[in-house]
Amino acid sequence: MESSREMSELRDVAMASCLDEYVDGAIYRWLSRAPYLSRLSREVLLEMASHEDRHYRFWSSVSGGCRVRFVWARVLAALLMALLFGATITIKVLERKENETIQRYRSVLKYFEGSKRAELESIIEDEVRHENILMEKIGEERIKYLGFIVLGLSDAIIEISGIHAGTLGVYEDTVKAGIAGLIAGIAASMAMAAAAYAQAKQGGMGRPATSAMYTGIAYFLTAVILAIPYFIVHQIFIAFAISIALSIVILAYISTYGSVLYSRNYLREITETTLIILGVSAALYFIGDMVSRFLGIRI
Provide, rounded to the nearest whole percent, the portion of the chain with pLDDT above 90.
3
Question: What is the C-alpha to C-alpha distance for residues 51 and 25, in angstroms, rounded to an integer?
Answer: 8
Averaged pLDDT, 161-178: 78
Whether 154 shows a pLDDT value over 80: the answer reads no
- Which one of 13-22, 86-95, 171-180 scores highest in mean pLDDT? 13-22
Residue 140 region by backbone torsions, left for phi larger than 0, else alpha for psi between -120 and 50, else beta = beta
Quick: pLDDT tens for 171-185: 777 888 888 888 888
Predicted confidence at residue 203, as pLDDT, reads 65
User: In this structure, are residues 257 and 90 in contact, taking their beta carbons and an 8 Å threshold?
Assistant: no
Candidate from 86-95, 142-151, 190-199, 265-274 with smallest mean pLDDT: 142-151
Question: What is the C-alpha to C-alpha distance for residues 150 and 159, in angstroms, rounded to an integer?
Answer: 14
In the chain, the domains with their CATH numbers are 4-141 (1.20.1260), 145-295 (no CATH)
User: Is 234 exposed, middle or buried, given 0-12, 13-18 or 19+ CB atoms closer than 10 A?
Assistant: exposed
Question: What is the C-alpha to C-alpha distance for residues 161 and 250, in angstroms, rounded to an integer?
Answer: 12
The average confidence (pLDDT) of the chain is 79
Predicted confidence at residue 1, as pLDDT, reads 43
Instruction: Give the pLDDT band (50/70/90) at residue 133.
Output: low
Candidate from 21-30, 58-67, 131-140 with smallest mean pLDDT: 131-140
Averaged pLDDT, 30-51: 82
User: Is 165 exposed, middle or buried, given 0-12, 13-18 or 19+ CB atoms closer than 10 A?
Assistant: buried
